[in-house]
Structure 1
Amino acid sequence: LATYLGANEDPAELAGHGCIPASLAREIAGGPDTVLRRIITDPLSGQVLDLGRDRYRPTAGVGEFVRVRDRECRRPGCHRPAQACDLDHVVPWQFGGHTNADELIDLCRRDHRLKDEPGWVYSLAPDGTLTVTTPTGQSYDSSPPPLHEPRVATEPPPF
């Protein structure tokens, strides 16, 4: 961003080509057919956290994260494997949903279609717990299963 705005002369990386000079990067970014997309990254690791609203389909990495986290369809009571499920936005895309792990869940095709019927409300908590509220107002929670049994914390050895 700083290079694009002219605040520095740092080189930019052009996918598939490597580093290019700042002046060329600004020329490409300002071109008439250029589409700019906001990508949020973790400042420490550099890992992509969010692709914003410009992309409906998740990246392979985000899709893999959600499938590993969920492991199966998230509708309470359904155990279809995540690999056979659709990745679905908890907040529908057309109503402002974002394409990131905080707003995506695995739903089998049947439950994906059911979610889109009137009266169903889905909300996803930061810890991955999904709350499904039915048209009759009953709520059910679904938490992602742990990958291993909880471990007992041990005290560090005395020095």
Structure 2
Amino acid sequence: MPSSPEPWLLAFPDLRSVMTESIYEAAGGADGMLRLADAWHQRVLADPVVSHAFSHGFREDHTERLGAYLGEALGGPQAFTGSMSTESDVVRMHSGQGREEEMDRLALVAWDEALSDCGLTDDPRLAATLHSYFADAIRRMGEHNDDSDTVPEGLPLEVWTWDSSGSAGSGS
């Protein structure tokens, strides 16, 4: 994208920000992703149903890893797949547990509450996009509910944009 917007775009500042700013940037960049990851993690740990997913324990750096994952999925740098793990590993970790519809529903409620905690509901389009992203992430993580051995290697991390519902491997 050019360093300065087209002249006609200056007349439409809302459109300009959507066209030039990734979801990652609109949500506060790396700091925003870390705040969101922390707010969501605190909420799910406090939920008697969703906290079961963490009953086996979790990494000390879970919040940082989740923040990096969210950032990459929302148009930020490849901090997660570049140095931490792969999409196949993430899907595999969330697979083989059977269908957990109530847990999934409550995880999404916790996500929406975390968005509010982080001030990300002030912009309705951003809030709706982040809600849709997480609902789809829950769906994708559940595609191998019955058997984690069915998760293929090499799954691309889907990157969301303002006008798409995620495009596998589109990068940042």
Taking structure 1 as the reference length, the TM-score comes to 0.29
Which structure carries more strand by proportion?
A: 1
Structure of larger gyration radius? 1
Per residue, is there more helix in 1 or in 2? 2
TM-score (normalised: structure 2): 0.28
